[in-house]
Amino acid sequence: MSRKVVKFGGTSLSCAAQIKKAGGIIKEEEGRQYVVVSAPGKRWDGDIKVTDLLYRAYDLAQAGRPYEEMMQQICGRYREIVTGLGLSEAFWKEWIQEFEAVCVHLEKENAQEYIVSRGEYLNGKIVAQYLGFAFVDAAKIICFDKNGEFLHEKTRERLKAVLKDRKFVVVPGFYGADDAGAVHTFSRGGSDITGSLVAEAVQADIYENWTDVSGFLVADPRVVENPKLIRILTYRELRELAYMGAVVMHEEAVLPLHKTGIPIQIKNTNAPGGEGTMIVGNTCQESEFTITGIAGKKGFAAVTIEKDRMNSEIGFGRKVLEVFQNHGISFEHVPSGIDTMTVFVKQEALEEKKEKILFEIYEATGADSVEVETGLSLLAVVGRGMKEHRGTAGKIFTALAHADVNVKMIDQGSSELNIIIGVADEEFERAVRAVYGMFVAV
């Protein structure tokens, strides 16, 4: 019997009907012994996630504005779930005491992480009661320091100790606590990380991530109509695609499982019989297409520095990057030539400090010119099969040329796993469709 950790996202637990679906999936296999839950998500387009409602309530309370109506709305969401699942009135009374404790904390300063974590906590209580599983508070097993930095080694040991002799448990995702009991959260979507940490600790045979899509797609369905499913994806490919915006699960959820080799399977709660996407460390299986996936992001700026004989000046690149570092700005890519160097950064991060940064680059390097181009997108074409096929880059640029897309930048890693292309924001969608059409569309 395979031991599985299963994580269900917000849309999979958004209402009683969805929780019943999740419960059916869990009970279908005895190996699904460890369940990680998110807060209730959207029930329909235009609906609001419980986590977002909690953020709003906290902001109202901190601004000294009435927040009671918002909290009543949240309580109403949960009441519908509890009633729809047929849970007892005694459980509801016990649960409401927990909810009242949340209301008490709303007006406390520095309590935001505690407040927004309660979406998972309260939903975890409900799901555990419905399944007849034990509830384990993530604050007892997911460790942070007092500054909110996640402590991986300490968490792994704590999880092993707590879950060693336990089966059939529910753990709320997204948050943990420091030694003083103060709650800290991962970034949004962090329940995926909790799931991978539990899978790592119990040495699961597989980590199933149940969501509202049937796996990773070759391209964004908002850009390409009915894109193909990626059946097998390596951890490295996932990292590249997730970093560039292909969001089906949190990119940091990969890290705890990469070294242990525990596979991840992405499945759709609303179509559980579907194949889904299997994410593995390595595979002998060839990609269905030359490329595995296409992803990208808008909103970048390119800072181009020119100086004669730049290539012979030792430490030139370090001086440029130190300016960005001193302003707390990370770079995305740094293509360079003999006399030029371009630094791609998030446009939003650059805007407020642009003039100061340009001046400091001049001062640090004695550059002949420093220019900024904004409104750029970065497009990543990723695939383990690209290095086995000659002319991949040529085909990409042929496709972009036929689509009348002007290439601003190209950067290919030495692993030949990905090719990064810079284009204007207004040409991004056209570029994605052109590359997809060249390699995938039939």
- What pLDDT, on a 0 to 100 scale, did the predictor assign at position 203? 93
Give the global pTM.
Answer: 0.86
Tell me the per-residue pLDDT of 140-190, one tens digit each, with 9 for 90 and over. Answer: 999 999 999 999 999 999 999 999 888 899 999 999 999 999 999 998 888
Tell me the per-residue pLDDT of 333-346, one tens digit each, with 9 for 90 and over. Answer: 898 888 999 999 99
Distances, alpha carbon 250 to alpha carbons 59, 192, 246, 349, 386, in Å: 25, 6, 10, 22, 25
Domains in the chain and their CATH numbers? 7-206 (3.40.1160.10), 293-439 (3.30.2130.10)
Q: For residue 441, name the pLDDT band (cuts at 50, 70, 90).
A: confident
> With 0-12 CB in 10 A as exposed, 13-18 as middle and 19+ as buried, what is 414?
exposed
In the chain, the percentage of residues whose pLDDT exceeds 70 is 99
DSSP H stretches of helix in 366-427: 392-402
Structure tokens at 393: 């880059």
Q: For residue 379, name the pLDDT band (cuts at 50, 70, 90).
A: very high
User: Does the structure show a pLDDT above 70 at 415?
Assistant: no
Structure tokens at 207: 């980590």
- What pLDDT, on a 0 to 100 scale, did the predictor assign at position 172? 98
Q: Is 441 helix (H, G, I), strand (E, B) or coil?
A: coil
**CA torsion sign, 180 to 191 to 31 to 155?**
negative
Distances, alpha carbon 172 to alpha carbons 140, 264, 300, 397, in Å: 11, 19, 35, 46
Tell me the per-residue pLDDT of 186-230, one tens digit each, with 9 for 90 and over. Answer: 988 889 999 999 999 999 999 999 999 888 899 999 999 999 999
**CA torsion sign, 7 to 12 to 16 to 19?**
negative
User: Does the structure show a pLDDT above 80 at 426?
Assistant: yes
